[in-house]
Amino acid sequence: MTAALLVGFFGVAGALLRFAVDTLFAHRAASRSHWPWATFLVNVTGSLIIGLSLGISGRLGLGPELQTGLATGLAGGLTTFSSWTTATVRLVSEQRFGAAFLNITANLLAGLAAAGVGIVLAG
């Protein structure tokens, strides 16, 4: 029960953070040359949060409930696979193939790096 409550609490926080980041970048969306910076930022940040939560929970003995709350709730509420894929499809439909490839590659590589950095920093 504790894990579910923590996931819910942190999930709301993650969703609100996601909304704030989207709002911050909303003025760029009107441009045809828009690149999905907000989605990139939340996905990389979420990867860092998960990496940190893995390391911190183990090192500080905070327990699996808190790690689940941070990873599943906070990072899960913050990050977005569906917006990432939709943005990529939109870039392809606009025939912006280089931008679509960059969106795929940047999210994947930066996300992996951020998760690794989080684990190392927390360790």
Per-residue pLDDT of the chain (123 residues; tens, 9 = 90+): 799 999 999 999 999 999 999 999 886 655 556 889 999 999 999 999 999 998 887 777 778 899 899 999 999 999 999 999 999 999 999 999 999 999 999 999 999 999 999 999 987
Q: What angle do CA 7, 8, 11 make, to 5 degrees?
A: 80
Tokens of 55: 């390391």
End-to-end C-alpha distance for the chain, whole angstroms: 28
Tell me what pLDDT residue 29 has: 59
The helix (H) or strand (E) run that includes residue 95 is: none
Tell me what pLDDT residue 11 has: 97
Q: Give the C-alpha separation, 30 to 37, whole Å.
A: 13
Tell me what pLDDT residue 73 has: 96
* DSSP one-letter code for 30: G
Tell me what pLDDT residue 30 has: 56
pTM, full prediction: 0.89
Residue 21 CA neighbour count, 13 Å, CB half: 21
